[in-house]
Amino acid sequence: MYFNAALMRLFIGIEIPEILKSNIQELQNELRSAGVKGHWKRIENLHITLEFLGEINPEIINDISAIINNVSKMHDSFKLSIEGLGAFPNFRRPHTLWTGIKGNTGTLQLIREEMHKELLKLNLKLDNRPYKPHLTIASRPKIYNANIDEFKTVKLGEFAVNDIMLFESKVGNGKRVYNCLYKSCLNHSL
């Protein structure tokens, strides 16, 4: 298998405020206590993904950053809330456990669509499935004997989205780490 060490694993996303990360960590702990097992997302890695870019040549980072900046400047800050519990593809055969994104999801969808359209011009191989905003809290969950009904309507808090970020995802000391490579502010921060 050919591996190019110069490629970088990148995604575009939204950072979650620390207070909400703490609320999500409490939810993870409560789910563990209820009998849910899985690979839990580390609190420092919690984010909302807008676009997973995959393994990218660093030479086009400036082009990607310009797209993020151009789209960000066309939109004002907006509010989202984190609530509910769901699973992909469903609770009967879950491979991902997530909490939902509510609030001004119309703006979120529009920003994602505009970026997606511009990123395709860079000949990137992007996911063309419909975008479902969510925040992954566990992968490969095991919920067989757990009673999770009470968590399906959990409300974890609201926050203002003031910027969009380009992240690099890499492994360091055996752990996945996300580093911000570029940040672009939306207009009129809340």
Contact between residue 115 and residue 50 where contact means Cβ atoms under 8 Å apart = yes
Q: What is the mean pLDDT of the chain?
A: 93
For position 190, what pLDDT does the model report?
Answer: 61
How far apart, in whole angstroms, are the C-alpha atoms of residue 80 and residue 103?
4
DSSP string covering 81-131, please?
EEEEEEEES-SSS-SEEEEEEEESHHHHHHHHHHHHHHHHTTT-----SPP
Contact between residue 87 and residue 137 where contact means Cβ atoms under 8 Å apart = no
Most confident of 1-10, 110-119, 180-189: 110-119
Say if residue 2's pLDDT is above 50. Answer: no
Say if residue 140's pLDDT is above 70. Answer: yes
Confidence of residue 174 (pLDDT cuts 50, 70, 90): confident
Given strand 134-142, what is the order of strands in its sheet? Answer: 37-40, 134-142, 96-103, 78-88, 155-161
Q: Is 37 helix (H, G, I), strand (E, B) or coil?
A: strand
Confidence of residue 145 (pLDDT cuts 50, 70, 90): confident
Superfamily classification of domain 8-185? Cyclic phosphodiesterase (3.90.1140.10)
Q: What are phi and psi of 17, to 5 degrees?
A: -60, 150
Contact between residue 64 and residue 10 where contact means Cβ atoms under 8 Å apart = yes
Contact between residue 54 and residue 168 where contact means Cβ atoms under 8 Å apart = no
How far apart, in whole angstroms, are the C-alpha atoms of residue 83 and residue 156?
6
pLDDT digits (tens, 9 = 90+) for 54-87: 999 999 999 999 999 999 999 999 999 999 999 9
Domain layout of the chain by residue ranges: 8-185
pLDDT digits (tens, 9 = 90+) for 42-53: 999 999 999 999
Say if residue 94's pLDDT is above 90. Answer: yes
pLDDT digits (tens, 9 = 90+) for 10-63: 999 999 999 999 999 999 999 999 999 999 999 999 999 999 999 999 999 999
Assigned token pair, 99: 């909490």
Q: What are phi and psi of 161, to 5 degrees?
A: -90, 110
For position 1, what pLDDT does the model report?
Answer: 36
- Mean pLDDT to the nearest integer, 138-151: 90
Return the axis-axis angle of helices 105-120 and 61-72, rounded to nearest 10°.
Answer: 140
